[in-house]
A and B are shown apart, each in its own frame.
Chain A
Amino acid sequence: MTKRIPVLLVLLAILPALIGCQESPAANQPIHKLIITGSSTVAPLIADIGKRFEAQHPDIRVDVQTGGSSRGVADARSGIAHIGMASRALHPQETIDLLATTIAQDGIGLIVHADNPVANLTTQQVIDIYTGKVTNWQSLGGMNAPIVVVNKAEGRATLEIFLHHFHLANSAIKADVVIGDNEHGIKTVAGNPQAIAYVSIGTATYDATAGVPIKLLQLNSIPASLATVQNGTFPLSRPLTLVTTKHPRPLAQTFMTFATSPHVQNLVIQHSFIPLPS
């Protein structure tokens, strides 16, 4: 027993060396790494596009990290990432030094529980609901029940686009629930017949067809669907973009050309987004 202690210590000492050995490069050719960070809405799509890209370019490794659109823009600017992902168009002051390449379109739709009789809201009604001027569904043609307002957490592109479209300040919104990602919002609405939320139309369509008890509301009598976003009639739409500096590296340029090519169109549709017109 007593003799074992030094043996253990020796083992502990050489362990890092053993682990270090495995990290030595196995392949002869150098591997180029392409780092992409940003929007959690775009990331799953880019991860899939990245896999297809890697299959065509075995010497390139695509590394996708999520962190929100603001992070994507900041990382592309500072050079931490080769490409940033953003689920919104660039702000005017961002276009001075950055370049955005649209890879797909997405819409933002208002959702309620499937049991809610309300099917359409006007822009003014949405503003009244979110600023707390209307607090009962009855005045909107629904049941006699309080409205549970679901808002997005600070820093999300969905929130920015929603506020911008309805000309609201976030501090003016009287929310009952603040959510993180789309799925959290959909689960909240599915479990609460009085709730109203706004989420990615792609995600909502996908979940509603899968049997989740939610429905997308019409906005000013325009149905919220992938078709109306595609033909431009639905007002709340946004581009999903890849952001780089004005002069991207050749590797980043190759990837963006690939991500906007018809080779990835089926992946875009698979993720319930609207592909670029071919």
Chain B
Amino acid sequence: MFKTWSSSIPSFPYHRDQLLRWALWSCASIAGLILVFIILFLILESVPALRHLGVNRFMFDPSWHPGENTFNLMPMILGTLFTTIGAIALAGPIGFCSALFCHCYAPPRLASLYGRFIELLAGIPSVVFGFWGLVVLVPLINQWHPPGPSMLAGILILAMMILPTTSLLAQSSLAQVPTEYLRGAAALGLGRWATLRRVVIPAAKSGLWTAALLATGRALGETMAVLMVCGNVVQIPSSIFDPIRTLTANMALEMAYAVDDHRSALFVSGVVLLLMVLILVTAANWSNRVPRHV
């Protein structure tokens, strides 16, 4: 579980200590309250749709056409899942390998230059990625396999966006491996590859998981860029060249234009997204509990 200092630091009943304690407590509760309020708000807003339509309609309606009173969310849930999985499958290994290269093989100058590049990439706003995707990437895919706006475009753009997250976090978790481990491995006469595989990676494992988790979270929640390149057609794709719509893009496209049950149904898709993130976090925590090798 979570390891804290609360039991190991002495707290004195002095005025200043108590004041600090309450100040910090209120800061912590603000963060917690914001989350509680957001969840409450989402649930309150989605109750009318759930009451009028019922949960089943969101899974078994023939299509998503709120104007014609059909509300199937499944194609968009799958769209979100597919793009996220595709993006993490691409960006995870690339980010991890680039972090390994940068940390363990690259000459210091190149490593620092590369680090600056990755930081810059992390700072590019998502709408710029989306715009670039719309005017460069989508026409390229269109030449290869029409129509162009597709799940593939979404996966590529998302992978580019989360690559810096995976790379930077993987680097910092590699950097936290104690140098004693490396010296120990060297003393045992292990080569670089064996050191990496048997010592460094197992020791950095939980940090690497966190990197993948944060990147997945970002990919799940990304809106603007995927809206611009994915085509936004509500359908279950039969190939990666088919256009799809994600849950986030659905909310962004229709929220400003929706009234009554349609609006409420969009809040239901917000709740679904929240549930997906919850499942992800739980799964990540659970897999992190597997005993470490070092």
Q: Which residues of A contact B (CB under 8 A)?
A: 2, 5-6, 9, 40, 66-71, 74, 145-146, 148, 151, 153-156, 169-171, 175-180, 184, 187-188, 191-192, 194-195
Contacts and interface: CB of A to CB of B under 8 A. Distances in A.
21 contacts: A5-B19, A6-B19, A9-B23, A68-B258, A71-B256, A71-B259, A146-B146, A154-B65, A154-B258, A156-B257, A171-B63, A171-B70, A176-B149, A176-B243, A177-B232, A178-B245, A184-B228, A187-B135, A192-B138, A192-B147, A192-B148
Contacts of B138: 188, 191-192
The 4 closest A-B pairs by CB, nearest first: A155-B257, A68-B257, A178-B232, A176-B147
A153 B232 CA distance: 8
Interface in B50-77: 62-63, 65-68, 70
A178 B227 CA distance: 9
B233 A70 contact: no
Given A154-B65, A170-B65, A191-B134, A177 B257 contact: no
A153 B253 contact: yes
A154 B233 contact: no
B236 to A, nearest CB: 15
Interface of A is mostly: mixed
B293 interface: no
B20 interface: yes
Contact of A154 (B23, B66, B135, B228): B66
A68 B65 contact: no
Nearest to B256: A67
Contacts of A169: 68
Contacts of B147: 146, 148, 176-177, 192, 194-195
A154 B20 contact: no
A36 B103 CA distance: 57
B157 to A, nearest CB: 15
Interface residues of B, number: 36
Interface string B1-34: 0000000000000001001100100000000000
Given A71-B257, A71-B259, A175 B148 contact: no
Nearest to B23: A9
A147 B234 CA distance: 18
Contacts of A146: 146-147
B217 interface: no
Contact of A70 (B20, B135, B252, B259): B259
B262 A154 contact: yes
B232 A179 contact: yes
B115 interface: no
Contacts of A66: 256
Contacts of A69: 257
Contacts of B258: 68, 70, 154-155
A69 B67 CA distance: 14
A178 B257 CA distance: 15
Given A71-B259, A154-B65, A154-B257, A194 B231 contact: no
B142 interface: yes
Nearest to A195: B147
B233 A68 contact: no
Contacts of A74: 259
Contacts of B245: 178
Nearest to B68: A171
A178 B244 CA distance: 9
Interface in B149-197: 149
Interface string B215-249: 00000000000011001111000000001010000
B254 interface: yes
Contacts of A6: 16, 19
B67 A154 contact: yes
Contacts of B231: 176-178
A122 to B, nearest CB: 24
B139 interface: yes
A155 B135 CA distance: 26
A192 B253 contact: no
A155 B70 CA distance: 14
Contacts of B63: 171
A39 B254 CA distance: 13
Nearest to A163: B67
Contacts of B227: 180
B45 to A, nearest CB: 15
A188 B20 CA distance: 56
Nearest to A145: B146
Given A68-B258, A170-B65, 11 more contacts: A70-B258, A70-B259, A71-B257, A145-B146, A151-B233, A153-B253, A176-B231, A178-B245, A179-B232, A184-B228, A192-B148
